[in-house]
Amino acid sequence: MLDQKRHVDLLTTFPSLKRLLRSRSFQPGMMLLTLFVFTLVILTGLFGTPVGSRNFGIIFVWIVWWGLLIIMLVPFLGRFWCSICPIPAPGEWLQRRNIITKRLPKLRTLNKRWPRQLKNMWLQNFGFLGVALFSVIILTRPQVSAWLLLSFILLGVVLSVFYKNRVFCRYVCPVGGFIGLYSMVSPLEVRVNDPNVCLTHTSKDCVTGNEYGYGCPWMVYPGKLNRNIDCGMCMECLKTCPKNNIALNMRPFGTDLTIQKEHRLDEAYKAFIMLACALVYSVVLLGPWGELKNAANMQSIPHWLVYATSFLTFVLVLVPSVFGAFSAASWLLMKRTLPLRQVFIDFAYTLVPMGLAAWVAFSLGFVLVNGSYALSVLSDPFGWGWNLFNTVDVPWVPAAPQLIAFLQTGVLVAGLLFSVQTGYKIAREQMKLHRKAFAVMLPNSVFLILVTLAFMWLYLG
């Protein structure tokens, strides 16, 4: 049962919100809107100016969308973006042979089974790393960005032909992986009001679908849903549930992070990858080291290969190893009462708030500085000399440059405190006694402090 004191069901509080989310038109309508912008992004990328700062695609994807996603949507609304993301839309509509209304009793696919070995986050981890290796090029070259996004949407369509539901979103999408991880921090969740109602409900309409909607496209059984990571917030379960048992709760931040029985190595590695990438990006993209930027920008293949090797070693080996050493210290402090692997994985979840804070801090650095480009490219999305809204000559003006360092510091400190608190909760679950838990969490806290100091050094110099 839910802790009713700390959770507020928004659907009960705001009936109009419930009506909106139950409507079959709302989600496809939003997806059509984002698909329109997405198509414009592809077109401007392929046919517009190759100058990133003058191209709608680059500015609206990597500054406007990214800023909204990582600074606003993920921390506060979790996976809400996944519910309106245009990338899986064509594939999903192809499976359903309809956009809004439910026409077919079953999805039209080749009904292949997704391999059991891939029912985890590893593909998303490596997909993200693959994109990250080329990120400097992707972020600055509109054509490369456009082809990448186009390949995502085509992959989504191809997978939807072979496999039912949103296999692409759940197991493949490199963006979806970290949105899922960080959505566990978010104060918004889709859950059932009473799991016992689900247990006694035999038809399980939320899984099988009914005349009001489809079975969960994310292949989740809402009755046992206890973390945001796999829920795409599509609200299909709200439409199909005949028991009126679905809730959209406001809750304390980070509630999912301490559910230790769900902790997994693939998710732990996602936390390492994201934190380490935030550090590398801060060094490469915001740092004063031009040679490093040139190497990441593939100015010469040998230099890039050195960069790529160093990058992968840092992300996949060095950061987890150093973290592992601190986990081993915790393990020794708890007198080896739990397997080291479990301690390592459990404490990796303390990196989730810290990683999200690091990404928010990193993104603040360039979103506020470059946000004003959005007005200019809105009037001339292709860089063809248009002036649609009379804003093409709006000069580039960094927003609140004197505040950025303070904001970054505040976010990083908040992330640190949140992570330390998460570490304590995890240790408390492991050790039960406050004094022992406090001792066990100390090495992890030291690691978190060191990482925070590293970010602060980079941002405040």
Give CA–CA dist 51/56, Å, rounded: 10
**Amino acid occupying residue 184:** M
Q: How far is it, in rounded angstroms, from Cα 335 to Cα 348? A: 19
Note whether 274 and 319 are within 8 A (CB).
Answer: no
Question: Among residues 39 and 208, whose Cβ is nearest to another protein?
Answer: 39
**In whole angstroms, what is the distance from residue 97 CA to residue 449 CA?**
52
Is residue 151 close enough to count as binding another protein by CB under 8 A? no
- Cβ of residue 7: shortest distance to another protein, in angstroms? 34
Span near another protein by CB under 8 A; candidates 25-33, 112-120, 311-319, 437-445: 25-33
Backbone angles phi, psi at 190, to 5 degrees: -100, 120
x/- mask, another protein, residues 364-403, rule CB under 8 A, reads ------------------xxxx------------------
Side-chain half-sphere exposure of 304, counting CA atoms within 13 A: 13
CB atoms within 10 A of CB 325: 11
Rounded least distance, CB 142 to another protein, Å: 12
- Taking the CB of residue 112, how many other CB atoms lie within 10 A of it? 12
Helix (H/G/I), strand (E/B), else coil: 20: helix
Which runs of E-coded beta strand occur in 278-418? none
Q: How far is the CB of 131 from another protein (least distance, A)?
A: 23
| CB 280, min distance to another protein, A | 23
- The 8-class DSSP code of residue 395 comes to P
From 4, 25, 203, 321, residue interacting with another protein (rule: CB under 8 A): 25
Nearer to another protein, 50 or 195 (CB): 50
- Closer CB to another protein, residue 14 or residue 36? 36
Total of residues contacting another protein (CB under 8 A): 27
In 66-126 the beta strands, taken as DSSP E runs, fall at none
Is 352 in contact with 229 (CB distance < 8 Å)? Answer: no
Minimum distance of another protein from residue 50's CB (angstroms): 7
Q: How far apart are CA 190 and CA 203, in angstroms?
A: 20
Q: x-or-dash pattern for another protein, window 72-91, by CB under 8 A?
A: ------------------x-
Binding residues among 410-429 for another protein as defined by CB under 8 A = none
Q: Of 6 and 97, which CB lies nearer to another protein in the complex structure? A: 97
Decide whether 103 or 432 has the Cβ nearer to another protein: 103
Alpha carbon distance 218, 221 (integer Å)? 9
Ramachandran area for residue 85 (φ above 0: left; ψ -120 to 50: alpha; else beta): beta
Contact 360, 74 (CB under 8 A): no
Let me know how long the chain is: 461
What does the per-residue mask of binding to another protein show for 31-50, with x meaning CB under 8 A?
Answer: -x--xx--xx--x---x-xx
Give the nearest distance from C-beta 34 to another protein in angstroms.
10
Q: What is the DSSP letter of 255?
A: G
Give which of 450, 435, 427, 414 is closest to 260, Cα–Cα.
Answer: 427
In the complex, minimum distance from the CB of residue 54 to another protein, in angstroms, rounded to a whole number:
5
Applying CB under 8 A, among 29, 130, 242, 398 the residue interacting with another protein is 29
Q: How far is the CB of 90 from another protein (least distance, A)?
A: 8
User: How many CB atoms sit inside 10 A of residue 324's CB?
Assistant: 18
Nearest to 175 by CA among 266, 274, 95: 274
Q: Among residues 33 and 72, whose Cβ is nearest to another protein?
A: 33
Q: Which of residues 51-70 bind another protein (CB under 8 A)?
A: 51-54
Please answer whether residues 122 and 170 qualify as being in contact, where contact means their C-beta atoms are separated by less than 8 angstroms.
no
State which residue, 47 or 134, has the beta carbon closest to another protein: 47
Binding-site string for another protein from residue 101 to residue 140, where x marks contact by CB under 8 A and - marks none: x---------------------------------------
Residue 36 or 389 with smaller CB distance to another protein: 36
Residue 410: enclosing H or E segment and its boundaries? helix 401-431
Q: Which is nearer to another protein, 4 or 25 (CB)?
A: 25
Piece of 20-28, 125-133, 234-242, 449-457 that binds another protein (CB under 8 A): 20-28
User: Can you give the binding site for another protein, defined by CB under 8 A?
Assistant: 24-25, 28-29, 32, 35-36, 39-40, 43, 47, 49-54, 90, 93, 98-101, 382-385
